[in-house]
Amino acid sequence: MNFYPLSVITFLFLSFTTVIGAEVNIYSHRQPFLINPFLEKFTEETGIRTNVVYATKGLAQRLKAEGKNSPADVILTVDIGRLYIYDDLDLLASVNSDILNRNIPQNLKSPENKWFALSKRSRIIVTSKDRVKEGQIKKIEDLADEQWKGRVCSRPGSHVYNRALMASLILSLGEKAAEEWAKKFVGNLARRPQGNDRAQVKAIFEGLCDISIINNYYFGKLKYSEDQIQREWAKSVRLIFPNQGAEDRGAHVNISGGGVAKYSKNKKEAVALLEFLSKADSQKMYGEINFEYPVNPNVETTEELKSWGSFKSDRLPIISIALKAYEAQKIIDKVGW
């Protein structure tokens, strides 16, 4: 077989590829097609090249095993739980940056400046426009009401977004009440928990159920989908930002975020990337590209997002959600969500 020479050449090539110029190596839980626009702009502005490995699972373990040898400089993730695992495994460096301190509020970063939120997403309720009247559902707690028996759809509970929501309920209602809620909520389900958030809207469109919980940006993705049918799905649902009462805690929010690897060899470039992502232009891009909310208080939410309604978000320090993840998962397993 004649692929042998080819293999040898490629082998050598891969072994001796040398690094020219400044660069930053990224371990990312975000899909390349979402972060590439940011990275291209970053390289354009700073001349720093970016290299990416994308995976949804196992990157923290890889980073840990690589130890001091790790080539990784920056970690980018979605969900506070995932971000916190890096902190918990002591894989992140403390970063002292005036820009980051100025751009990111206290409750959206680690107390030791090891990780920083870069965008916010709200976990919201969607209901069928035709089959659920406006105002009938106002809070996450309402989904446990018996009148919705057989009318609720959900993604599996152990998915990080639902786990974080569960943690927020434990924090605001207490463990016992939260479990009670979860039990009744599962009792209301129209089908086994399955699919991602997109699939829930689809199920409502098709009439399989009337109510579900999704991350807000999925609505935007469907509304502007290239696929005509998916745009129809979006049209069939009403968005409800939950728990907006004057005395209420506000809608649960989760974050995407990042940190600098403890053993990064390009710390300066790594910090520069995080700073870049926190500044006004990039913060706006989060809204434009992925319908997410800015964390930088000086940046306005995009017009599109504003048109979905303004809301107040739960002011819990985001780290407390991560700290309750284990308790949340226990309840989820117990009630079979």
Burial of 326 (0-12, 13-18, 19+ CB in 10 A): exposed
Q: Which x/- pattern, by CB under 8 A, does the window 180-219 give for other proteins?
A: ----------xxxxxxx-xx--xx-xxxx-----------
Q: Does 241 bind other proteins (CB under 8 A)?
A: no
Query: Closest CB to other proteins among 136 and 194?
Result: 194
Q: Considering only residues 14, 18, 106, 147, which one is a binding residue for other proteins as defined by CB under 8 A?
A: 14
Residue 314: partners with Cβ closer than 8 Å, 6 or more residues away: 168, 172, 243, 249, 250, 251, 252, 253
Residue 245 vs residues 170, 217, 278: alpha-carbon distances, Å: 19, 23, 31
Q: Considering only residues 12, 40, 45, 67, which one is a binding residue for other proteins as defined by CB under 8 A?
A: 67
Query: Closest CB to other proteins among 162 and 278?
Result: 162
Q: Does 51 bind other proteins (CB under 8 A)?
A: yes
Q: Would you state the structure tokens that stand for residue 1, as one six-digit string?
A: 């077989």
Q: Does 287 bind other proteins (CB under 8 A)?
A: no
- Dist CA 94 CA 165 (whole Å): 28
Q: Considering only residues 38, 42, 70, 274, which one is a binding residue for other proteins as defined by CB under 8 A?
A: 70
Q: Considering only residues 88, 145, 180, 248, which one is a binding residue for other proteins as defined by CB under 8 A?
A: 88
Burial of 153 (0-12, 13-18, 19+ CB in 10 A): buried
Which of the stretches 46-54, 99-107, 281-289, 313-321 binds other proteins when contact is defined by CB under 8 A?
46-54
Query: Closest CB to other proteins among 105 and 195?
Result: 195
H helix runs in the chain, sequence order: 4-16, 32-46, 59-66, 80-88, 98-103, 160-173, 175-187, 197-205, 216-223, 228-235, 267-278, 280-290, 303-307, 318-323, 325-335
Q: Considering only residues 12, 40, 45, 56, which one is a binding residue for other proteins as defined by CB under 8 A?
A: 56
DSSP structural state of residue 148: G
Closest separation in Å from C-beta 214 to other proteins: 12
SS3 of residue 192 by DSSP? coil
Angle subtended by helix axes 228-235 and 197-205, to nearest 10: 80
167 neighbors 325 (Cβ within 8 angstroms): yes
Query: Closest CB to other proteins among 104 and 209?
Result: 209
Which of the stretches 27-35, 110-118, 137-145, 165-173 binds other proteins when contact is defined by CB under 8 A?
27-35
Q: Which of residues 288-327 bind other proteins (CB under 8 A)?
A: 325-326
Q: What does the binding site for other proteins look like in residue numbers (CB under 8 A)?
A: 1, 3-4, 6-7, 10-11, 14, 25, 31-33, 51-62, 64-67, 69-71, 85, 88-89, 156, 158, 160, 190-196, 198-199, 202-203, 205-208, 226-227, 325-326, 329
